[in-house]
């Protein structure tokens, strides 16, 4: 899918489907019957069991250096695709910022990836306008990373394990610092190997 197509679809249907997320058959909790906690604004999170590989497509950081998800190996990631013109994204971003402030560290990071074609100045203005202080800046202005995941709507958020595989995804906004969202993230962090200290 071309990046221009992504923008048109996302603007028209922020809660639309994501082709990459479509499941041919039920895959929830295929191993052992354990189910992730799905409630509140993350009730529509789609778990992947087994986790799905993600193509190592490139994007850039706030200093315009090339990065891939491989650069974050060893952490559980909440990778959020958003844009400054996306109304639901604007509502969601403060909760992502608060989540990173509470839980971000060596074991977990929020990776908020802007698909704005205007690049860094546009994103910097947006961060300043909303008072975002904890989120690092990442950009996908060419759409390479978004295209690799075949995204069709914004915001879309993918939970990624320490080996860079998708654990599941949510299309549409969520209150990511809510108790329900943090419980979902903790579930996967503990399942993925190392327990974490609950934020205060």
What's residue 200's pLDDT?
34
Residue 194: burial class (beta carbons within 10 Å; 0-12, 13-18, 19+): exposed
Helices (H), 43-134: 87-103, 120-130
Which DSSP category does 146 fall into? H
| pLDDT at residue 192, rounded to an integer | 64
Q: Where are the beta strands (DSSP E) in the chain?
A: 46-53, 59-61, 66-67, 76-82, 108-114, 138-139, 156-160, 165-171
- Superfamily name with CATH number, domain 3-191: Glutaredoxin (3.40.30.10)
Quote helix, strand, coil % in the chain, to nearest 5.
35, 20, 45
| Strand order across the 108-114 sheet | 46-53, 165-171, 156-160, 76-82, 108-114, 138-139, 59-61, 66-67
What element of type H or E holds 191? helix 179-191
Evaluated on CA atoms 33, 36, 40, 43, the torsion sign reads: negative
Q: What is the pLDDT at residue 59?
A: 95
Six-digit token string for 200: 């205060």
Token pair belonging to 73: 């190996």
C-alpha 182/C-alpha 176 separation (Å) is 7
pLDDT at 193: 55
Strand partners, 157: 80, 170
Q: What is the pLDDT of residue 149?
A: 86
Ranges of residues in the chain whose predicted pLDDT is under 50: 1-20, 22-32, 194-200
Q: What is the pLDDT of residues 104-147, one digit of tens each?
A: 999 999 999 999 988 899 999 999 999 999 999 999 988 999 99
Q: What is the pTM of this model?
A: 0.82
pLDDT at 49: 87
CA distance 51 to 55: 13
């Amino acid at each position: 899918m071309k990046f221009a197509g992504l923008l048109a679809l996302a603007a028209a249907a922020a809660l639309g489907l994501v082709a990459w997320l479509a499941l041919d058959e039920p895959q929830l909790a295929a191993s052992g019957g354990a189910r992730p906690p799905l409630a509140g604004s993350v009730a529509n999170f789609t778990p992947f069991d087994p986790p799905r590989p993600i193509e190592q497509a490139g994007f850039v950081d706030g200093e315009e250096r090339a990065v891939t998800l491989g650069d974050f190996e060893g952490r559980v990631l909440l990778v959020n695709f958003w844009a400054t013109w996306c109304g639901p994204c604007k509502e969601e971003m403060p909760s992502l910022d608060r989540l990173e402030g509470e839980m971000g560290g060596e074991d977990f990071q929020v990776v908020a990836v802007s698909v704005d074609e205007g690049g860094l100045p546009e994103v910097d203005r947006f961060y300043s306008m909303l008072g975002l202080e904890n989120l690092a800046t990442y950009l996908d202005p060419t759409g390479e990373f978004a295209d690799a995941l075949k995204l069709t709507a914004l915001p879309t958020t993918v939970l990624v394990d320490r080996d860079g595989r998708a654990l599941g995804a949510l299309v549409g906004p969520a209150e990511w610092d809510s108790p329900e969202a943090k419980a979902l993230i903790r579930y996967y962090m503990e399942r993925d190997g190392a327990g974490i200290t609950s934020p205060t």
